[in-house]
Structure 1
């Protein structure tokens, strides 16, 4: 993807690049217990941050039919708020990512969590759809910042040999948030109403206390700062590195955006409209929808963890490709059966594979990231991919309402067709990806900033 560049490329550090070699399997429990206190608290905070962020997002997914009824609108119109949330996420990734590259990961992450918690609380008081959709847009900004900051902080502090396992666990904060939202939906929506779900969803602000007290700053970012301070050019080096990253790594940036667009189409296309499909097309009640969602997300959590761990043994690309192909095989079982038992098996299997592929993403995307831009690059490419896929639920809803089956909107047809197209695209794109498994982030960061300083000196000498 790249030519010769002045910015450090992981490929140039061959002693840390174990792409092609398979390491002997390590006991997952030993990997977990090998973490020190700071690493454990950092990972827990990153996991909870993403879990609660996803939890707040999925509250809308489950509330679509109820919000539509109260505002006297079609479900496809309410799904527009999901699109708006996804569209604003790249803004948050850029803002909070740049702040994280300049001022460290911790404080921008704390501000981000407070912002999305406040917006979630306010959403529960929205008097009309216009106010609701504005609040969801601001929530999208905060949601866009959380993943990149949390993933960078976690991946930078963890040992390289454990990245695969913890990448899988970290990404399943998304499925865990989905699971918690489904349980809240079951316990609250029929008894208290959809607004109460948003009020309860504001409690993640408490997580800021944990981050402030127990989570240290990223050692990779601190190493960069030490190099910059030693040259007396902290602010200048940050601006220069940002310019050089954009100059030399734009091809990689575009590639990762396209890759993440396929990943986000894969998850949103299979999941966002599924509760609506179950309720409105199949006629399932709240209890049945909740049980199916719980089963599916248990599959997601198991799949993401296992496949993340396997990616450490067999590589990031191989793991992604195999799990996506398996997911395509389970699409018919996910949508076509009319029996609850068969749908349960299909939902478990599909979510296992979809989130199994996703479990590789935090490690893979951070390893592909230029070291000087790691606070911004993973989150921004992720959220720009989200922007491209933002309308997936609304497209599925609109098409489903147009193509009827037995007098009902045929959401299942559009979910299946879109998902299979995206799965094929993702397999092809992944084949062209590079892989930098086990690259040393701290050495990479120090070398990158030294090269930037050398380039600055050469420019001054020429002048």
Structure 2
């Protein structure tokens, strides 16, 4: 029984291992990524550099993610998913671990550049393998569960920072050192995963029809789809940066009287970390819940529902500065629809990808959208953080992101529940 016909039957051991490895890999990518966010001040103090210079670490990682998605994705489309995924997790695990021993800031930046390559390759390959193996009728549920690995990694990073930094009083380097343990667990699981049957059948069909990957990559229809989906991912990533990644960030905290501007407010670094934990609990609930709903109601309709809910919460989210510590309530609630929309993305992007290039197509789209969003949204957020109307500017930024994501989702196509590996999806995508 294959994942494409299993319906609501139980997963096979191979399907479980493939999916678990994908979730663990994405979780640990997020864990390592957000460690830097949570230890900005510690790194700056240790290496005697400014916060702006430390922020470049995030930029460096971000810029290399599309490179990793392209390199590992093309490799996976040529030789299969299994080996590139194992090399990928080994690569980013070792690089992340070495960050704990960086002797100076320059070396740390170089390591984070390399880490960006690994992080960029992880999502596309993991999503492709997982979505190709799970039952088509439950793809939305597993999509939400897979994407929930991102806020779960953030949650683990927040908890780890509390335990390692606040409770144990250890250095920030310990956080990077500890990250290799679950990453190695993911590697062990992946060693037991079988190759994707969808990839194997696709390669045989391409050989029989003498169709090359180049023919598919440069098909005008595939290129138009690529541009549209990059724009969609730009809007989604902007939405995420505005509501999650920059919260609780320095600009927000200073705006409500925390940190240097809010001494004595009671908002300690430990409390900030607990805020991030609560936010990500809401994000996980949203990703699982709305991902599952998309199986029944469709990908685009569910995105529209998430956007409408987020818009209803936006006034409370943007003006939480007047609520004191109670700003946590609308902040957590906002994560439910925002990450609910994101929970649909692994299924949606893989369903919109031709079989022959599913290893590289979704990952490159995701990471390019991420870079474009950061190129515009992060500078804007940094600029408005210095103004006296931060809540108003934040609300406007989130509104534009939600509007763009909604408009693009409604105007586009979807392929909900499409059967991977069929002749119709080898070189093209059936739309609905």
- Report the TM-score when normalising by structure 1: 0.82
* Conserved 8 A contact 1:224-1:446: no
- Residue 399 of structure 1 deviates from its aligned partner by 0.9
Show the 5 A alignment for 1:221-300. Answer: 221-228=199-206, 237=211, 240-248=212-220, 249-277=222-250, 279-281=253-255, 282-283=257-258, 284-300=267-283
- Residue 371 of structure 1 deviates from its aligned partner by 1.6
Cα deviation code 1:214-245 (max 9, x no counterpart):
x11111001123335667x6xxx4xx233333
- Residue 246 of structure 1 deviates from its aligned partner by 1.9
1:164 and 2:140 are equivalent in the alignment: yes
* Conserved 8 A contact 1:79-1:393: no
* Conserved 8 A contact 1:316-1:435: yes
Structure 2 counterpart of 1:12: none
- Residue 258 of structure 1 deviates from its aligned partner by 0.7
Q: Provide the C-alpha distance between the structure 2 equivalents of 1:316 and 1:147, rounded to a whole number of angstroms.
A: 19
* Conserved 8 A contact 2:22-2:130: yes
Q: 1:386 to 1:52 in 2, by over 3 A?
A: same
- Residue 312 of structure 1 deviates from its aligned partner by 0.8
* Conserved 8 A contact 1:122-1:135: yes
Cα deviation code 1:35-55 (max 9, x no counterpart):
122111111111111111111
- Residue 400 of structure 1 deviates from its aligned partner by 4.1
* Conserved 8 A contact 1:165-1:309: yes
Larger mean CA deviation between 412-421 and 81-90 belongs to: 412-421
Instruction: Give the alignment partner of residue 326 of structure 1, picking from 309, 325, 331.
Output: 309
Structure number with bigger Rg: 1
Structure 2 unaligned segments of length 5 or more: list them: 259-266
Q: Provide the C-alpha distance between the structure 1 equivalents of 2:289 and 2:248, rounded to a whole number of angstroms.
A: 26
Structure 2 counterpart of 1:371: 355
Structure 2 counterpart of 1:35: 11
* Conserved 8 A contact 1:61-1:273: no
Q: Provide the C-alpha distance between the structure 1 equivalents of 2:121 and 2:296, rounded to a whole number of angstroms.
A: 30
Structure 2 counterpart of 1:306: 289
Q: 1:393 to 1:140 in 2, by over 3 A?
A: farther
Structure 2 counterpart of 1:192: 170
* Conserved 8 A contact 2:238-2:377: no
1:344 and 2:328 are equivalent in the alignment: yes
Q: 1:266 to 1:446 in 2, by over 3 A?
A: closer
Larger mean CA deviation between 157-166 and 395-404 belongs to: 395-404
* Conserved 8 A contact 1:58-1:181: yes
Cα deviation code 1:371-397 (max 9, x no counterpart):
211111100111111111234674155
For 2:16, what is the secondary structure of its paired residue? Answer: helix
Show the 5 A alignment for 1:137-152. Answer: 137-152=113-128
For 1:437, what is the secondary structure of its paired residue? Answer: coil
Structure 2 counterpart of 1:22: none
Q: Provide the C-alpha distance between the structure 2 equivalents of 1:97 and 1:39, rounded to a whole number of angstroms.
A: 21
Q: Provide the C-alpha distance between the structure 2 equivalents of 1:394 and 1:123, rounded to a whole number of angstroms.
A: 24
- Residue 417 of structure 1 deviates from its aligned partner by 3.1
- Residue 173 of structure 1 deviates from its aligned partner by 0.5
Q: Provide the C-alpha distance between the structure 2 equivalents of 1:340 and 1:184, rounded to a whole number of angstroms.
A: 26
Q: Provide the C-alpha distance between the structure 1 equivalents of 2:63 and 2:335, rounded to a whole number of angstroms.
A: 24
* Conserved 8 A contact 1:82-1:390: no
What CA RMSD, in Å, does the superposition of the two structures yield over aligned residues? 2.3
Q: Provide the C-alpha distance between the structure 2 equivalents of 1:260 and 1:154, rounded to a whole number of angstroms.
A: 20
Q: Provide the C-alpha distance between the structure 1 equivalents of 2:247 and 2:315, rounded to a whole number of angstroms.
A: 14
- The one of the two structures with greater contact order (alpha-carbon pairs below 8 A, sep at least 6) is 1
Q: Provide the C-alpha distance between the structure 1 equivalents of 2:426 and 2:50, rounded to a whole number of angstroms.
A: 55
- Residue 423 of structure 1 deviates from its aligned partner by 1.3
- Report the TM-score when normalising by structure 2: 0.88
- Residue 341 of structure 1 deviates from its aligned partner by 5.2
